[in-house]
Amino acid sequence: MRVRMAVLASALVAPLLVAPAAEAAAVKRPAIQYGAKGKHVKYLQTRLKALRYDPGAVNGRYGPDLRYAVLAFQKVNGLKPSGNVGKGTWAALAKPKTPGSVVRNGAANRVEISKKRQLVVVYKSGRVQLITHTSTGSGKRYCHQGKCEVATTPSGNFKVYRKINGWRHAPLGDLYKPIYFYRGYALHGSRSVPLYPASHGCARLPMPHTADLMFSIVPIGTPVYVR
């Protein structure tokens, strides 16, 4: 009797474990893009949130937060980051890839910044907690107050040493909820987070939702790996 009950329990639980992927594969979904509304958009938000992206509020409206989440998902899954959701993206949502770690034997709680893929991934207890699009140093020369430098995000192993809960009006621009990990370099919210490296060296984050979330889950002392 116990064996029979165990088999029955397994049969009931198994469909729940595969339901999101099975549903994504089984239901024919339309192509959607920025500005769309409806149940398919809501499903997209729900699915991305379950996969640790940050689509913002699950409200069935395709706005800026969802677009940034789609861009990050498309990059992780080897798709051209366009923000448009068609057959390729729906198929990837059914069988999603996980972001490859940029370091070996990194700390269980850590932040990884990939300059090549323009992605930030936060890990808690070795598991992905958040995946987001970013824009790092442009690599271009710039001058400020008579001093010229190249806009580069430094590679290396760092630690969060300071956080500011609000805006910081820095000499090179405004930083929303900056999380400093090396000198004046920080992860921070920005009004502009394009698909290409564009910052003076910081790692820009979509705001306000993703920047708020990052600020809340990354404490001082967290290792930051930049590659």
Give me the DSSP letters along 19-76: HHHHHHHHS----B-TT-BSHHHHHHHHHHHHTTB---S-SSB--HHHHHHHHHHHHH
In this structure, what CATH number is given to the domain that contains residue 181? 2.40.440.10
- 181: in domain: yes
In this structure, what CATH number is given to the domain that contains residue 78? 1.10.101.10
Q: Is residue 199 within 8 Å of residue 133, measured between CB atoms? A: no
On whether both 180 and 213 belong to a single domain, the answer is yes
On whether both 74 and 179 belong to a single domain, the answer is no
What does each of the 227 residues of the chain score in pLDDT, given as a tens digit?
444 444 334 333 333 334 455 554 557 899 999 999 999 999 999 999 999 999 999 999 999 999 999 999 999 999 999 999 999 999 999 999 999 999 999 999 999 999 999 999 999 999 999 999 999 999 999 998 899 999 999 999 999 999 999 999 999 999 999 999 999 999 999 999 999 999 999 999 999 999 999 999 999 999 999 99
On whether both 50 and 123 belong to a single domain, the answer is no
On whether both 90 and 115 belong to a single domain, the answer is no
Number of domains in the chain: 2
- 6: in domain: no
User: Which domain range does residue 74 map to?
Assistant: 20-94
